[in-house]
Amino acid sequence: MAGGPGGHETQVGLVAAAGWLQSALRPAGPDATRIYGLWVFMLWISAAVLLVVIGALLYGTFRRRRSRPDSDQQHTRQRRMTRAVATGAGVTVVILFAFLVFDFSVGRALGAPRRSGFEIELVGHRWWWEVRYLAPALPARVTTANEIHIPAGAPVLVRLKSNDVIHSLWVPDLTGKRDLIPGKRTSLWLQADTPGVYRGQCAEFCGQQHAKMALLVVADTRAGFDQWYASQLAPSAVPTDSVTMQGRQVFLTYACALCHTVRGTPAAASLGPDLTHLASRRTIGAGALDNNRGNLAGWILDAQSIKPGVDMPPNHLEPDEAQALLAYLETLK
Amino acid sequence: MTATASGQAPASLRHALHETWADRPGLIGWLMSVDHKSIGKRYVITAFAFFLLGGLEAAVMRMQLARPENHVVGPDLYDQLFTMHGTTMMFLFAVPVMTAMGLYLVPLMIGSRDVAFPRLNAYGYYAYLIGGLFLYTGFFLGSGPDAGWFAYTPLSGPEFGIGKRMDIWAQTVTFTEIAGIIAAIEIIVTVFKQRAPGMSLNRMPLFVWSMLVMAFMILFAMPWIAVDSQFLAMDRLMQTQFFNQAEGGDALLWQHLFWFFGHPEVYIIFIPALGYVSTIISTFTRREVFGYPAMVGALIVTGFLGFALWVHHMFVTSIPQIGESFFTAASAMIAIPTGVQFFCWIATIWEGRPRFQTPFLFMLGFFLVFIIGGLSGVMVASVPFDSQVHDTFFIVAHLHYVLIGGAVFPLWGAFYYWFPKFTGRMLGETLGRWNFALFFIGVNVAFFPMHLLGLHGMPRRVYTYIAETGWGSLNLLATLGAVTIAISVIVFLVNVARTLAARPNAPDDPWETSSTLEWAVSSPPPPYNFAELPVVEGRYALWDRSAVQPVVTGLRTDQRELLITTLLDAEPDHRHRTPEPTIWPLLAALATGTTFIALVYTPWAMVIGAVLIAAPLVAWGWPRPRPGDPIVAGGAS
């Protein structure tokens, strides 16, 4: 996946362009671009209003004052002032009206009906994202976590769900945010102009690890997306050597299988992220860490020190068991 | 009662009034006080103490965010800190300090001797004090609320809100609702029925108008949060299911009720500040505020519109588009009355001759800071734009520009302006200028970068962030701004301490150009406020009075009597006997407090508490004949 020009690889598995990991001022999709245009308009108008009002205030405060005007002059000045204040109010109304027109036109464009090739169901959990690709538009159901893959250039409807508290999906480079509310049906369109990796983050306070509930949107070419999807459809890799076989045994006999699914094995719990293709993902812990062996080891042994309060318990494994488990997890591409 | 001309009131009259109106000596006397000035001062000091605590919480948060992946505090404490900061600033500082200024100043400004219900006033203060102490006791014992000052369900509900943290929060809010509603009733009745003869509604000072509009907003906004917090408390304590979707409740119901209170709340804080601005600008430019009818109209329109905006806090929850448009238009519309007031003030300054003393400097600060918050406020009225910046640091920047610009700058100006009236001493001018300059710089350095942080993707309420986000340097800058604010607050405290250590030096009107009635009495005012109740001859009572001030005579001096006047024209109507000092409001507040606090732990507290509260209330209302009462058949003599 190519990143933006001039970016550099970061800890969290994506490229930071122009120094920001995620930004509404660097639109990469049609929705974010429209909102950015509205922002620029409002910024210039506001700057002009600020300048005029503060200018009038400062001039009015510090202007040189002549001797007291007589009462005739006072009446004229009073009338002039009244006109000035009324003009100010009138200009305010005109500016607000222009703002409303522009704002409503952007709002309409964002709300216009679109055709989605397929739909994604995004379920917010404390504190990670469950991503389900919904059949029938796609060959079958795929479940992954903390990474949404979409084909670039096409709108994709994301249906938002939560079963615990309120979360909010926000990928600023692509579009504005939308809440995930228990018992409510909400949705959001995601569309990226070009292939790239776009970071997002939960935007509604959802408890202790609200700060570490990130996700990535990976926009790929259509062919690249199809390939990724096909690989996700496949069941998990089958261990071929004794170490990974021991690793799978560790996975199934220790606490792991109580919460996680690895398709193709008896592990089928859904309290934590689906790990069938864990090794294909860029991050672990919902964007908390880059997905590599060292980080994975730290996460498995003591997730609480990385993300205090998560459901992932500390695991006490013998060194050889830990190594075997890591080797097995690394095969889950 | 007749209006007669009089000069200085005779010493014998002053002495008699002092005997009747003074608080009793000693600690018990202090606790029995029902004097609106004593209660108002306690309110202001208490609220300011909470402001300092809320500021300390903010300082710790800024330390934590100064660097990426910092470890000053962990996530659990951080969540408690921002919840305490918001709750403290909104419920324990901003609203109480605004009502407190009204409770102190309104009776003086309208020429009366006390507020309408002095005992209730004392009760309201003690309820507020107990509520605040309860919240902080919980916090220091490790049970600080941690679901945000907005306490969204289900995070604050029984399933996810652990321990007693959010129960304590909900009860604290209940205490402040009681205090707020009581203050609103006091102000409304006092303003409507106790104005000095001649002060018809269209001659009322803009300060009093702003307090009146604020009081009505409290009266209509606070009951919603009362319902909301009681629903939450019941969901948590008695397994009701108001906010539980799975049982037919609704998680969004909380948000609607909360913001139907929460948005007017912003105007409850902002509108009294507009009253300070009008008063201070008029004094320091020696001009009547330009466009009195427009100013009053703008206040009232703002008061109404303030209730039509609540949904703009919920734009990202999926509101139907037609609804969004309505709330966007309403949110933009409120800029019109605010704009009109701005233009009128600028016209006043333009025509006047400004005097650059500290209170006026804070007014200039108010203009510069608030207008930025107002402009970003129009921006976030846009649903598409709000969908980007909602719940980000852009909003943190916006709300602090609005609340600090719109309320704290005016309030600080008001402290400097009325300090001599409260204490008889002028605050130091040099330290005042430093206080202003550091505060102005600090606020802008702390909060301006937050606009950019929000646009560059930084959500609110995060206890940490990774270095790669690029947010580090702007956050460090914001923290330096926070340090500057802290220094300016210390300068203010030093100024106050030095001033209080000095001898009283303030004459009746140390500013020499004030126009409202509180400056016609000594600094600080005597317990009875006015020896002879003034008759008002114009909108600017002290500027418009004739050479010989007409006064009202005929009120008893051996009893606490108020002059009641008619609502519209302030024609003298009748004399009203007002209560003596009493301990029962304090005891009733203690009983209420005990009950509410116990309710956090057991619903049975309601049963025992009913008796506990009834006892002091009965004692409070027990008929006691007082000297001079007419003897009624069947009554005690």
Give one DSSP letter per residue of B2-28, joined into a string. Answer: EEEE-SSPPHHHHHHHHHHHSPPSHHH
Find which of B253, B387, B458 to mutate to test the A interface (most A CBs within 10 Å of its CB): B387
> In A, residues 208-237, which contact B (CB 8 Å cutoff)?
208-212
Find which of B345, B463, B469 to mutate to test the A interface (most A CBs within 10 Å of its CB): B469
> Is the Cβ of A309 closer than 8 Å to some Cβ of chain B?
yes
Residue A265 pLDDT greater than 70, yes or no: yes
**Residue A241 structure tokens:** 């050597």
Q: Nearest by CB to B392, from A32, A103, A203: name it.
A: A203
Q: Of the candidates A128, A82, A175, A11, which has an alpha carbon nearest to the alpha carbon of residue B470?
A: A11
Number of separate helices (H) and strands (E) present in chain B: 20, 5
Which residues in chain B are closer than 8 Å to A92, comparing Cβ atoms? 335-336, 339-340
Q: What is the mean pLDDT of residues A135-141?
A: 67
Which residues in chain B are closer than 8 Å to A89, comparing Cβ atoms? 336, 339-340, 343
Residue B637 pLDDT greater than 90, yes or no: no
Alpha carbon of A120: minimum distance to chain B alpha carbons (Å)? 18
Quote ipTM for the complex.
0.94
Contact criterion met (CB below 8 Å) for B551 and B145: no
Contact criterion met (CB below 8 Å) for B419 and B499: yes
Q: What is the mean pLDDT of residues B89-102?
A: 97
* Local structure of A114: helix, strand or coil: coil
Q: Nearest by CB to A107, from B321, B339, B463: name it.
A: B321
Which residues in chain B are closer than 8 Å to A77, comparing Cβ atoms? 351
DSSP conformation class of B361? H
Contact criterion met (CB below 8 Å) for B565 and B576: no
Question: What are B113-151's pLDDT values in tens digits?
Answer: 999 999 999 999 999 999 999 999 999 999 999 999 999
**Residue A32 structure tokens:** 């974010």
Q: A131 - beta bridge partners?
A: A122, A144
Q: A88 - beta bridge partners?
A: none
Question: What are B38-84's pLDDT values in tens digits?
Answer: 999 999 999 999 999 999 999 999 999 999 999 999 999 999 999 99
In 10 A of CB B446, how many CB atoms?
24
A176, B460: Cβ pair inside 8 Å? no
Which residues in chain A are closer than 8 Å to B461, comparing Cβ atoms? 205, 210-211
* CB contacts < 8 A (A, B): 236
Q: What is the mean pLDDT of chain B?
A: 93
Proportion of chain B above pLDDT 70, given as a percent: 97
Could you tell me the pLDDT band of residue B243, with boundaries at 50, 70 and 90? very high
Find which of B286, B338, B468 to mutate to test the A interface (most A CBs within 10 Å of its CB): B468
Q: Which backbone phi and psi does A202 adopt, to 5 degrees?
A: -65, 135
Q: What is the mean pLDDT of residues B286-305?
A: 95
Residue A26 pLDDT greater than 80, yes or no: yes
pLDDT at B560: 92
Between residues B288 and A12, the one the model is more confident about: B288
A46, B387: Cβ pair inside 8 Å? no
Alpha carbon of B374: minimum distance to chain A alpha carbons (Å)? 10
Question: What are B162-172's pLDDT values in tens digits?
Answer: 899 999 999 99
With b for 16 or more beta-carbon neighbours within 10 A and e for fewer, the B370-391 pattern comes to bbbbbbbbbbbbbbbbbbbbbb
**What is d(CA B58, CA B202) in angstroms, rounded to the nearest whole number?**
43
**Residue A181 structure tokens:** 């509310």
A210, B321: Cβ pair inside 8 Å? no
pLDDT at A136: 63
> Is the Cβ of B351 closer than 8 Å to some Cβ of chain A?
yes
Residue B438 pLDDT greater than 90, yes or no: yes
Q: What is the mean pLDDT of residues A302-311?
A: 94
Find which of A165, A201, A213, A289 to mutate to test the B interface (most B CBs within 10 Å of its CB): A165
B339, A206: Cβ pair inside 8 Å? no
pLDDT at A135: 67
Residue B227 pLDDT greater than 90, yes or no: yes
Computed from CA positions of residues B226, B227, B232, B235, in that sequence, does the dihedral angle turn out positive or negative? positive
Say which amino acid occupies A301.
L
Q: Nearest by CB to B75, from A172, A177, A208: name it.
A: A208
> In A, residues 73-112, which contact B (CB 8 Å cutoff)?
77, 81-82, 84-85, 88-89, 92-93, 96, 99-100, 103-104, 106-108, 110-111
pLDDT at B2: 42
Between residues B538 and A18, the one the model is more confident about: B538
Residue of A nearest to B456 (CA): A23
Contacts 24+ apart (CB under 8 A), A58-64: A59/B350, A60/B346, A60/B347, A60/B349, A60/B350, A61/B349, A61/B354, A61/B364, A63/B350
Find which of B287, B331, B382, B392 to mutate to test the A interface (most A CBs within 10 Å of its CB): B382
Which residues in chain B are closer than 8 Å to A202, comparing Cβ atoms? 459
Could you tell me the pLDDT band of residue B632, with boundaries at 50, 70 and 90? low
pLDDT at A9: 45
Question: What are B458-515's pLDDT values in tens digits?
Answer: 999 999 999 999 999 999 999 999 999 999 999 999 999 999 999 998 999 999 999 9
- Lowest-confidence region among A66-70, A99-103, A305-309, B349-353: A66-70
Pairing of strands B550-553, B2-5: antiparallel
Residue of B nearest to A74 (CA): B351
> In A, residues 128-167, which contact B (CB 8 Å cutoff)?
164-166
pLDDT at A16: 53
Q: What is the mean pLDDT of residues A207-218?
A: 96
> For the whole model, what pTM was predicted?
0.95
A182, B245: Cβ pair inside 8 Å? yes
pLDDT at A12: 55
Rounded to whole angstroms, what are the CA distances from B637 to B301, B623, B633? 52, 11, 9
Question: What are A213-228's pLDDT values in tens digits?
Answer: 999 999 999 999 999 9
